[in-house]
Structure 1
């Protein structure tokens, strides 16, 4: 058994189930990397993470565009794809859930459902939901083949968002370089940048432009506070 099965499953999905219009060289390279790492497992997770981050970031705008269309399709075809396949009892409970503002998309985040459903009921709902998602994605992929205009437009929108995030990450890296004398802060900033990169590669929570900007502003504020404290110590030595 491979020592990192979850990460390898993610890499396999990049290589074999990439979103439409993913650059073909990226798919070929990811496939080659998957085969290589399958035959020769890395001794440390860092090498595998580097590969996942590199390819995952390329796929991010395509994956986000596809996911947005799949979610919209699920919401628009809630009954046919999902409700009609529930048994009577679950259908009634789901109707109450919807009446209180719930939706098929909220079922993706069970922590926000509260105690409305039992564990067994959630299991049954998730099984039907998983099948509904597969059907929705198959439908959306076929629709993209027929007419890719909307999908490609969304890819461009997400690519622009990603570019802005990357620009702010570059600013964070430059900030880290400017305070390289402070080993702790330097390492901390680089780890924050890495965490954001993991998010773009679907390995962590995906960042927003606002989140990256907030982190940058916080580091600048802390940096200026340290300078201010140092200046005060010089003026008013104990």
Structure 2
């Protein structure tokens, strides 16, 4: 991933900080962003390490917030979008709904064949606005009527991530001890890195079940030992 693209992803992570993230973390992120923007000698690996470190700190807040965001997106997204559409776009959208489509399908681009290139440009602008409005609406809700539930979910995700970190530490230890099979150690570290990048918006999400199965790598170790004696 080019370093400039990674910088942009870090900027996005810093812009989209959910409510109730401690001020100390926000201040550290702001300082780190300023440093990575000014540091021309920064390597891609160093930048990714910085993004991952903050991605982990934000993860419980982001996951909790996104749960509420998705609920309000489902409840309000279509209404917000329809308010922006011209009559001819509303007609096409209703046709899409009659064909069995949903707002989520529409949001993910599954309807583009129904629209002209001019329509698509307009719709993309609308969807950006809708996403922003839903984000702002969700912020208001989790700081008011949904605050207690939001705080509970943050705590629950913090507990989950504490367990995940223990699994990551165990995998790091396994990789460090894997002197006989350096390629397996590299595979373990790559697996960990893929998960960390997903947590930090640097890559696709990796499910916990894949990360939290050291037995898989133990099996790979035994397999390699057997191959050595064949």
Query: TM-score band (shorter)?
Result: 0.7 to 0.9
* Number of positions where the alignment pairs a residue of Structure 1 with one of Structure 2: 227
Measured in 2, the distance between the counterparts of 1:181 and 1:100 equals 58
Aligned to 1:236: none
Aligned to 2:217: 219
| RMSD over aligned Cα atoms | 2.5
Segment of structure 1 superposing worse, 124-133 or 94-103 = 94-103
Unaligned runs of 5+ in 1: 234-238
- 2:121 counterpart (120, 123, 130): 123
1:128-186, CA deviations, whole angstroms, 9 ceiling, x for partnerless residues?
11111111111111222224112212222332333333233223222212312222211
**How far off its partner does 1:40 sit?**
2.1
| Conserved 8 A contact 1:11-1:30 | no
Bigger relative contact order, structure 1 or 2 (CA pairs below 8 A, ≥6 apart): 2
Relative to structure 1, is the Cα distance of residues 154 and 42 closer, same or farther in structure 2, using a 3 angstrom cutoff? farther
Measured in 2, the distance between the counterparts of 1:117 and 1:166 equals 46
Unaligned runs of 5+ in 2: none
Aligned to 1:178: 177
**How far off its partner does 1:125 sit?**
2.5
| Conserved 8 A contact 1:42-1:48 | no
Measured in 2, the distance between the counterparts of 1:226 and 1:84 equals 61
Mapped pair 1:143 → 2:141: yes
Measured in 2, the distance between the counterparts of 1:158 and 1:101 equals 35
Relative to structure 1, is the Cα distance of residues 183 and 144 closer, same or farther in structure 2, using a 3 angstrom cutoff? same
Measured in 1, the distance between the counterparts of 2:116 and 2:64 equals 32
| Conserved 8 A contact 1:74-1:104 | no
| Conserved 8 A contact 2:167-2:212 | yes
Relative to structure 1, is the Cα distance of residues 106 and 158 closer, same or farther in structure 2, using a 3 angstrom cutoff? farther
**How far off its partner does 1:29 sit?**
1.0
Aligned to 2:26: 27
Measured in 1, the distance between the counterparts of 2:85 and 2:116 equals 16
**How far off its partner does 1:101 sit?**
4.5
Measured in 2, the distance between the counterparts of 1:162 and 1:108 equals 30
Aligned to 1:203: 202
